Amino acid sequence: MSLERLKIAKEVEKEHVQLNKQMSELKTIIFGEVEEEGFAEWRLHFLWKLRDFKNALLKHFDLEEEGGFMREVLKAAPQEANKVESLMLEHEEMIASIDTVLEGLKALDAVDRVKLNHIKNDINQLVLELGAHENKENHLMQVAYYRDFGYPA
């Protein structure tokens, strides 16, 4: 176990915590009161928060895909190749879901409860998907990184 490998794992874990925080902020905004008065400001605020989140997520995926995490997992546990492949596919799917929400939000000119409910559902779905995705990654990290320290694989 090199220090570099441990550093990557710690960084990925740290980012998972930060992303979860950002996700719950997004939920607080979308599930809070949305009034006709001040709607344009509310929408812009949420739009920017969502864009920041998308960017943070893209950088996180870069770290996992290009920063060595996926490579180390494959090296330590080649039998997990399918899981790594599906994680990368999920990255694309989650970004596509965020883009859908961004577009829906931009097309929303006034407080439309039906469309807002769609956005709420999409955000909820995203929270669940990201949570499940990270759980799989945490498990793979245990398999690939911590085995050397005697943690259960």
Contact set with Fe ion (CB under 5 A): 64, 137
The least CB distance from residue 41 to Fe ion, in Å, is 32
Q: Which is nearer to Fe ion, 90 or 116 (CB)?
A: 90
The full length of the chain comes to 153
The whole-angstrom separation of Cα 111 and Cα 116 is 7
The whole-angstrom separation of Cα 100 and Cα 119 is 9
Q: Which is nearer to Fe ion, 64 or 72 (CB)?
A: 64
The least CB distance from residue 24 to Fe ion, in Å, is 16
Q: Which is nearer to Fe ion, 75 or 139 (CB)?
A: 139
The least CB distance from residue 47 to Fe ion, in Å, is 24
The least CB distance from residue 13 to Fe ion, in Å, is 9
The least CB distance from residue 94 to Fe ion, in Å, is 8
- Give residue 127's region: left, alpha or beta (phi > 0; psi -120 to 50): alpha
Q: Which is nearer to Fe ion, 66 or 103 (CB)?
A: 66
User: Angle CA(86)–CA(91)–CA(92) in degrees, nearest 5?
Assistant: 100
Q: Which is nearer to Fe ion, 12 or 119 (CB)?
A: 12
Q: Residue 15's closest CA among 142, 137, 139?
A: 137
Contact at 8 Å (CB) between 36 and 111?
A: yes
